[in-house]
Amino acid sequence: MENKQDAEKIPLDKNPAEKIPIEKFSTDKLPIEKFTRESGTAGGIAEGRTEGREGPRTEGRGHRTGRGEGRGRDRDSTEKEFIEKLVKLNRTAKVVKGGRRFSFSALTVIGDRKGNVGYGFGKANDVSEAIRKSIEKAKRKMIPLPVKNGTIPHEIIGVFKASRVLLKPACSGTGIIAGGPVRAIMEAGGVTDVLSKSIGAANQYNVVKATFDCIHKMMDARVVAKNRGKPLKELWG
């Protein structure tokens, strides 16, 4: 009964929250000094963070990228010293109890385009490893290739087993008239004009060795001039 009497005393058309003045909920009268940087509140910390972001923070990152770029340039300079030509890549399979095992062999020719060439043969269970081995062997077997005005000094024939290779000098503008292994060797050695003919067996391994037999037989102008007791200009004509 008492609860019913209390409910009758409160008028239904009025809201109790309307009696509270609106001025108590406004933020216009709050002091601005509380949000300054000097007071050390959240506002000041936020300002400090934004100022720190605007500062030159990227100097350290730029310095690190600069070091990486320098190392990349060094690698590029060392890699560009030699030109690498993959002449032959062969895959062999061995049948075992569990299946087949594959192995790879690579024949590679390298040169510096300044009269030095070499070839290598590598074997491995992976393609990249076989190529790497062949390149390392080629670097250890480099020999000089005599070059005169972009061509070879004289005509020569090289022989290895059933393969024979004929090389002839050519005038400027002729280009490298060769195919397969002979072209790769001439390009790596820096020869721009030459005539060639492969006679006999076309096995790429034998053709490469026959071409290097030509290079071994070539006469160097400096050695010939020294043996004859003549100046180099007179010998070259």
User: SS3 string of 11-78?
Assistant: CCCCCHHHHCCHHHHCCCCCCHHHHCCCCCCHHHHHHHHHHHHHCCCCHHHHHHHHHHHHHHHHHHHH
Q: Comparing C-alpha atoms, which of 155, 158, 129, 130 is closest to residue 143?
A: 158
- Cβ(194)–Cβ(168) below 8 Å: yes
Residue 223's pLDDT is: 86
What is residue 18's predicted lDDT score, i.e. its pLDDT?
A: 52
DSSP string, 191-217: --SEEEEEEE---HHHHHHHHHHHHHH
Read off the pLDDT of residues 30-60 as tens digits, 9 standing for 90 and up: 555 544 444 444 444 444 444 445 555 545 4
Q: Spell out the per-residue pLDDT of the chain, length 237, in tens.
A: 455 555 555 555 555 555 555 555 455 555 555 444 444 444 444 444 444 455 555 454 544 444 444 444 443 444 568 999 999 999 999 999 999 999 999 999 999 999 999 999 999 999 999 999 999 999 999 999 999 889 999 999 999 999 999 999 999 999 999 999 999 999 999 999 999 999 999 999 999 999 999 999 999 888 888 898 988 888 776
Q: Which residues share a beta bridge with 200? A: 163
The predicted pLDDT at position 235 comes to 76
Domains present along the chain, CATH in parentheses: 83-143 (3.30.160.20), 145-232 (3.30.230.10)
Residue 125 has phi, psi (to 5 degrees) of -85, -5
CA distance 11 to 18: 13
Report whether 154 contacts 218 (CB < 8 A). yes
| Residue-level pLDDT at 37 | 47
> In whole angstroms, how far apart are CA 39 and each of 18, 36, 134, 160, 199?
36, 6, 72, 92, 94
**116 touches 131 (CB < 8 A):** no
Secondary structure of residue 138 in the 3-state scheme: helix
Q: What is the pLDDT of residues 12-25, one digit of tens each?
A: 555 555 555 555 54
Classify 85 as helix, strand or coil. strand
Residue 76: what pLDDT? Answer: 45
Could you tell me whether strands 163-169 and 176-177 are parallel, antiparallel, or unpaired per DSSP bridges?
unpaired
**Residue 19, pLDDT score:** 52
